[in-house]
Amino acid sequence: MSQPGGFDFLGYHFERDKKWPRSKSLMKLKDNVRDLTKRNNGYCMQSIIGRLNPVLRGWYEYFKHSYRPTFAPVDGWVRMRLRSILRRRHRQRGAGRGWSNIRWPNEYFAKLGLFTMTTARASARQSLQGAH
């Protein structure tokens, strides 16, 4: 959420020598992800992830210079959406939380090829450190 001490510019919020996506940019990403991850869609999980990855990758590429804690909550929210699809397919109700995290851990989605921003950021920082 935008704080009174900073300012918004080109999709970012700037404050105290840090920048992160402004609220409107994050809400737009979430709306796009919601459209692609409806719980009653008939696509297989690989297809859903295949359609979702370009959206996530594009958003990350634009906001990759954001303050570090920006990406983990977004990754978690995306996985929660995917777990809720799996729960529905197994005739369970509710969001993909709790036992769903154990039944379908993060590695499950990594094996299916889900793009995660925290992993992309870690590998980008690793390659930057190796260049020096």
pTM given for the model: 0.85
Tally of CB atoms within 10 A around 112: 15
Q: Give the largest CA-CA distance in the chain.
A: 52
Domains: count for the chain: 1
Instruction: Tell me whether residue 86 is in a domain.
Output: yes
Instruction: Tell me whether residue 63 is in a domain.
Output: yes
Residue 79 CB burial class (10 angstroms; 0-12, 13-18, ≥19): buried
Instruction: Tell me whether residue 8 is in a domain.
Output: no
pLDDT score, position 2: 47
pLDDT score, position 121: 87
- Which of 69, 53, 54, 55 is CA-nearest to residue 21? 69
Instruction: Tell me whether residue 2 is in a domain.
Output: no
Spans of the chain, pLDDT less than 70:
1-4, 95-97, 127-132
Domain with 75 in it = 26-131
Instruction: Tell me whether residue 19 is in a domain.
Output: no
Instruction: Tell me whether residue 12 is in a domain.
Output: no
